[in-house]
Structure 1
Amino acid sequence: MKNRKNILVVDDSKIEQKMLKNLLEKDGFSVFIAPTVSDGFMIMGKEDIGVVLVDFYLAGINTGAAMVQKLRRYKVDVKIYSISSSDDSSIELLNAGCDGIISKEPKEIRNFLIENFCKTPPCPPESE
């Protein structure tokens, strides 16, 4: 079984990368950042990733949907969620095989991950 507290964020926005990494690591998640699909696959080859958060709009030819399709084609045991803010791209990612859509708002992503992947031990509460 994959480690569901190891999160791969595939997003080319440095601001989003930093916000998500800082926010999620406070709650005990290990966060790996990939600005491209290729980087994402390299990380997945080295780390025990349990959850992938993928943005649809990535720089270069390979979109988030291409990554999702490849992971599903090879039956990789990982949960994949779209973090795109566009409804159209989220639908395309769902059709590609995403497990769900999460609003790109960092606190909503955090709350979703805690609710779904922090069973025991519980993640610490967010410090105000």
Structure 2
Amino acid sequence: MKKILRMTLIIMIFIGMVACNKDVVKEKEEPLKEENVVKVEDAEKLFKGYCTELYTIKDPSHPPTFDEIADNIKGYVSEDRFKAQIADRRYEIPELVAKELNKSIEVLGVNLEEQSVNDNGTID
């Protein structure tokens, strides 16, 4: 009897997962709404601001701290991405490189290149 209940539960969980997965796929197939379209220039501006805040170290002997860099980046990424980057200690990298090389770091430019166009009109 326990085996039958376990198998039934496993099958129900599997069916639920498949059904949820199909809904996600259907969402992704819908065309992109015009109000959600981001211009390439706006994306470049946002990304350049993010890179500038993350990688610019003017004085390698007194670089911004991890917390200062994290505070500057907060407005550029989603809350989930921010938490993941905090956990990865990603904001420590520029500080460590600048100190190790004893050189300032400056972002000179950012170029975004189209990799592919998806079926829903989004661009990677």
Normalising to structure 2: TM-score of the pair? Answer: 0.26
More helix by share: 2
Higher Rg of the two aligned structures: 2
Larger strand share, 1 or 2:
1
Normalised to the residue count of structure 1, the TM-score between the two structures is 0.25
